[in-house]
Structure 1
Amino acid sequence: MDNPACRVILSPMDTDIIIVGGGLNGPALALAAAQAGFAVTIIDSLAIDRRKRPDFDGRSYALALSSKRLLQGIGVWDAVDDDAQPMLEIKVTDGRAGEGPSPWMLHFDHAEIEEGPMGFMVEDRHLRRAFLDAMAAEPLITQLSKETVVSQAIQNARASVTLASGKVVTGQILVGSDGRRSGTAERAGIKRTGWGYGQTAVVCAVAHDKPHGGIAHQFFMPGGPLAILPLTENRSSIVWSETDARATELAAMNDEDFLDALRPAFGSFLGQISLTGARFTYPLGLTLANSLIGDRLALVGDAAHGMHPIAGQGLNAGLRDVAALAEVLSDARARGEDIGSPQVLERYQQWRRFDTATLALATDTFNRLFSNDNPLLRAARDIGMGAVNAIPGLRRGFIREAAGLTGDLPKLMQG
């Protein structure tokens, strides 16, 4: 166990922006900020070689079109383009496993908007490697891997963090990108509001006989939604939300038993299926930081907001935070302002607060509406889906929302 009394404090490293968290949002912000001319230090608890493991582990992300534009803007997209699967259609249905879907459905087709595919599925391994390679090539970014923050402080108009190794990093602003249990937010005294859903997501990938055609499926069942999301090479990513008890059973099954449990919900439309990569589980809930900012501090991604994966918008919401914060800080510096001042950080909070709260409320409402077997609610939601699907203007609005093209978009997401 680390003994603070024995820790050696080294001479401080100085930077413009300190980012805690080396997942995906942290590196995206580091690249966006460096592109704007800021010196950035990013602190990651994991080793770089672990982040860059090339083997497929079953994890992948649905990136909205606006998120693709961000990755293009920060020089990452070309590295993942060949491994990205366009999502050309989205089909949303309601029903029970083994009984087939309701005849009422939502069908979104990318051909109804001018901008192109609504989004892209990209595997975690490809994204992480692309981010790490891009950061290594950027002289304004310093990566500190296998490092954890043990304390943070504000002094003389500077933010500082002390690492377990004894290193001290100082900067004009500290950014927490360290997940739903953000130590950065906790050390700053920022409380959280949220609740659990009594659901757990089982995440994996399957190979199948028939091509998916770039179609993403969302099948709502009483225990929770099953998302079947297209990957390259006749594979699909599975995000199966179930009750905690059922998910525990699914996680404990061997591969064949798990596939036997999945098939009634998955159906036979893609032929025979087999597992590829590992299975993961994570509990589902809603958690919102009560403030996105603090004294010389900002939160992005899951450190700011964690929501149900029902619409696949978690990473996209985080990347919107990244684009907005990078733009606010760049504009402030151009005006000669202190980028860590309360006035500057409040602009970021005002920009992102309403959007994230609205998205969190929407995912919460959709999950409560669809994750049940109440016959009256089933009838109401099926009629609602059918009505939306029958009105072209309303349907196109949902398509643009799925593509991340609505609202006050940061410049990096405008293309």
Structure 2
Amino acid sequence: MDGQENGFDVIVAGAGYVGLTLAVAVAEARPSLNVGVVDAAPEGVWQRDGRASAIAAAAIRMLERLGCWEEIAPKAQAITDMVITDSRTADPVRPVFLSFEGEIAPGEAFAHMVFNRDLNAALRRRCEELGIDLIEGVGVSGFDTGTRHVTVHLADGASLATRLLVAADGVRSRLRDMAGIGTVHWDYGQSGIVCTVGHERPHGGRAEEHFLPAGPFAILPLAPAEDGTNRSSIVWSEKTTEAERLVAEDEIVFEAELETRFGLKLGEIRVLSKPRAWPLGLTLARDFVRQRFALAGDAAHGIHPIAGQGLNLGLRDAAALAETIVEADRLGRDIGGLDVLERYQEWRRFDTLRMGITTDVLTRLFSNDVAPLRAVRDLGLGLVERMPRLKDYFIRQAAGLSERAPRLLRGEAI
């Protein structure tokens, strides 16, 4: 690289799904580029992640193109339909105000539920096959930007040179701070409780989102366990003090609280994984790029899970940045140049801002029990239910299928 021995063309800081997807996408499309991934987490810690995520259809098309989906698919669960209710916890009946069919095309679900460790394992396998260097257990302690490269300093004292450094190190990104990029942030006073539950009866692939006064309560279908246990993933928003109390309770008390929200439609339920809570807020980076530096994923934006789009928003970043890098390199341009990276920023900023505003409005509109607001939002849900074209538009947006989507998200090679 520019005459530097053992130099990289791209270093990605953060071995989460966004960072690994970006590395795989660049290395597959442009094998001549030397790509490395650096991650501060201890080796193997990702295997203990019991959470699951909703992967939209566009992201699945990308994973197919990158050679990962075939490995993931047998363990994934298609979301065949989705229903939305707006009620109180104690209401004996929760009427459905809005429902969505689960297919955007015959045989293609608008989303699948995937265990995080399965997604991570498939991406890591492709990294190995493509010769991507994966340095684990050591973080980036700092970096110096020069005219032709960035010198990346690792916590163990080593230094690496690269033409482009990408920060995919999460919503509390240290690299973003090091680059001097500020954020817009506010806290919702809520925390998201996440766990996996088992239940007597099969879910039939149905996802449910109940808008309760304290926040949304989502039931997301998972593939059955190896022993045949029916499973679902819970994403449960509560006021932070209440969430902290709930996860600290013993299993019997927690399950009793869960049952009042989950209901009995799937029979007896039991918690299969230890509930954990994360604070919820909105974080938007004021800039996505600097000279030889770019943000991707949660380092660029952290949003409320009310629309289930956080991970998919990050995967759209990965697809757009990979296409920007690959096309620039094919044209002989400097992949770390600010003029090149500003194309990525322009591409992603509007989508990110729109999703941030949407989730913020939905959170404020639905996380309350104010009677006039309840009437307005229920009327709005009912109107959408009666407008098939509008429903189709919303489902395609949720699936990540738009005209400006990067090639990988359309299932095309870069």
TM-score scaled to structure 2, two decimals? 0.94
Change (3 A) 1:111 1:122: closer
Match of 1:207 in 2: 198
| Candidates 247, 258, 264, aligned match of 1:262 | 258
| Candidates 37, 40, 54, aligned match of 2:35 | 40
How far is 1:58 from its partner? 3.6
41-50 vs 266-275, greater mean Cα deviation: 41-50
Give the secondary structure class of the aligned counterpart of 1:172: strand
Match of 2:227 in 1: none
Change (3 A) 1:200 1:101: farther
401-410 vs 276-285, greater mean Cα deviation: 401-410
Q: Is 1:124 the equivalent of 2:120?
A: no
What does residue range 147-186 of structure 1 map to in structure 2 within 5 Å? 147-186=138-177
Give distance in 2, aligned partners of 1:267 and 1:46.
Answer: 38
Q: Is 1:189 the equivalent of 2:184?
A: no
Contact 1:102–1:382, Cα closer than 8 Å, also in 2:
no
Give distance in 2, aligned partners of 1:226 and 1:13.
Answer: 49
| Candidates 379, 382, 385, aligned match of 1:383 | 379
List alignment gaps of at least 5 residues for structure 1: 1-10
| Candidates 55, 78, 84, aligned match of 1:86 | 78
How far is 1:79 from its partner? 1.4
Give distance in 1, aligned partners of 2:238 and 2:44.
Answer: 33
Match of 2:273 in 1: 277
Identity across matched positions, percent: 42
Q: Deviations over 1:336-388 (max 9, x none)?
A: 11111111000000000000000000000001000000000001111110110
Q: Which amino acid aligns with 1:387?
A: L
148-157 vs 229-238, greater mean Cα deviation: 148-157
Match of 2:16 in 1: 23
Contact 2:103–2:110, Cα closer than 8 Å, also in 1:
no
How far is 1:21 from its partner? 0.5
| Candidates 228, 252, 256, aligned match of 2:219 | 228
Contact 1:96–1:265, Cα closer than 8 Å, also in 2:
no
Question: Runs (4+) of structure 1 moved beyond 4 Å?
Answer: 111-115
Q: Is 1:60 the equivalent of 2:52?
A: yes
Match of 1:397 in 2: 393
Give distance in 1, aligned partners of 2:377 and 2:58.
Answer: 28
Match of 1:332 in 2: 328
Give the secondary structure class of the aligned counterpart of 1:90: strand
How far is 1:240 from its partner? 0.3
Q: Which amino acid aligns with 1:222?
A: P
Please provide the CA RMSD for this pair: 1.4
Contact 1:193–1:289, Cα closer than 8 Å, also in 2:
yes
Contact 1:198–1:243, Cα closer than 8 Å, also in 2:
yes
Aligned residues, how many?
Answer: 401
Give distance in 1, aligned partners of 2:194 and 2:310.
Answer: 15
Q: Which amino acid aligns with 2:117?
A: R
Change (3 A) 1:226 1:379: same
How far is 1:74 from its partner? 1.4
Contact 2:104–2:396, Cα closer than 8 Å, also in 1:
no
How far is 1:103 from its partner? 3.0
Q: Which amino acid aligns with 1:207?
A: G
Change (3 A) 1:71 1:34: same
How far is 1:402 from its partner? 1.6
Match of 2:89 in 1: 97
